[in-house]
Chains A and B, each alone.
Chain A
Amino acid sequence: MFRFKKSQLAVTDLFIALVVALILIILVVFTWNRYVIILKEENVYKEMQLITFQTVDLLIKSSGEPSNWELNPTNVDVIGLASSDRKISASKVDALINLSYNFTSNSLGISYYDFYFQLKHVNGTQLMGYGIAPNNTVVSVQRLVSYKNEDAIAEFALWK
């Protein structure tokens, strides 16, 4: 009877150790998967940041190609809103507003995302807005520009 009890004890020990080891393995698997997801999310966020900086730079520093694309907006190769560095052209802004959202999104190479572009007076009053207002993860960049001979803020938000 004593010997039988001893063997039972050994098996019980083994199963306790087994359960502890399995719990640890499951914890490691869950933690690993969680970190993989966090890493992917951070990577997407960094990618969105870079694209946002790139796009807002293009919009406020370049006049586009052809440089008078606002005369025939559907034949634009590159959309740019500047008449010179950080000086926004009102006629280019008007031409942008008349372009379809999908066309602009494709042309700017950001069709994987949604965007919203606005020009605001430095006191916060909105001067123009274009795109789809964000309701999710947003990367937003604000730049100081000149619009209609006044200081203004160009804000570009990218989201998905």
Chain B
Amino acid sequence: MVKKAQFSFEFLFAVGIVFFLFLLLLGFMMSRNQELGDSRREINKGNTCLLISSLITSAFINGDGVIINESIDYNVNVSEISPAYKELNVEGYYCLLAIHTVPNAQLSKGKIKIENQNNYIDLQNV
């Protein structure tokens, strides 16, 4: 009798520990999966921010009449913080612009057009 009870307790204890470890691993995996998704979104937003900033600079450097068409996956807001600061906001990810001859604009995700009009950069959805 004693032997059977001992075995049963040990078995339950072992199963409990294994189950606890399984839950621990599951929690870890779910949390890391969430973190990975967030990181991927942040990196994509950062890439979009840098892409647009880089295209605006390219359009400016290459002179009047340059038109660049691009497709973006996030909404983008161009705003002026102060006369010396122009900022791009890609759904919470911020980067600064080197070109200040850009009007404030709100671009929705989809196709956009960047046009150099006499060294002033026009941004719009198409």
Which residue numbers of A lie inside 8 Å of B, CB to CB? Answer: 3, 7, 10-11, 14, 18, 21, 25, 28-29, 32, 36, 39, 43, 47, 50-51, 54-55, 57-58, 61-62, 65, 67, 77-79, 103, 106-112
Contact with A along B21-57 (1 / 0, CB 8 A): 1001100100010010001000100100010011001
Residues of B in contact, count (CB < 8 Å):
34
Report Cα–Cα, A61/B66, bound state, in Å: 15
Q: Which of B24, B28, B53, B85 contacts A54 (CB 8 A)?
A: B53
Residues in B neighbouring A108, C-beta threshold 8 A: 98
B84 touches A106 (CB 8 A): yes
Q: Identify the closest chain A residue to B35 (Cβ).
A: A36
Report Cα–Cα, A71/B2, bound state, in Å: 99
Contacts A50-B50, A57-B61, A58-B61 given; indicate if A77 touches B28 (C-beta within 8 A).
Answer: no
Which residue numbers of B lie inside 8 Å of A, CB to CB? Answer: 2-3, 6-7, 10, 13-14, 17, 21, 24-25, 28, 32, 35, 39, 43, 46, 50, 53-54, 57, 60-61, 84-86, 95-101, 119
Residues in B neighbouring A28, C-beta threshold 8 A: 28
Contacts A25-B28, A58-B60, A62-B60 given; indicate if A10 touches B21 (C-beta within 8 A).
Answer: no
Secondary structure dominating the interface of A: helix
Minimal beta-carbon separation of B68 from chain A (angstroms): 14
Q: List 19 A-B contacts (CB under 8 A).
A: A7-B6, A7-B10, A11-B10, A14-B10, A14-B17, A18-B21, A21-B21, A36-B39, A39-B39, A43-B43, A47-B50, A50-B54, A54-B53, A57-B61, A65-B99, A67-B119, A107-B84, A107-B100, A109-B96
Residues in A neighbouring B84, C-beta threshold 8 A: 103, 106-107
Report Cα–Cα, A10/B7, bound state, in Å: 9
Residues in A neighbouring B86, C-beta threshold 8 A: 109
Minimal beta-carbon separation of B80 from chain A (angstroms): 12
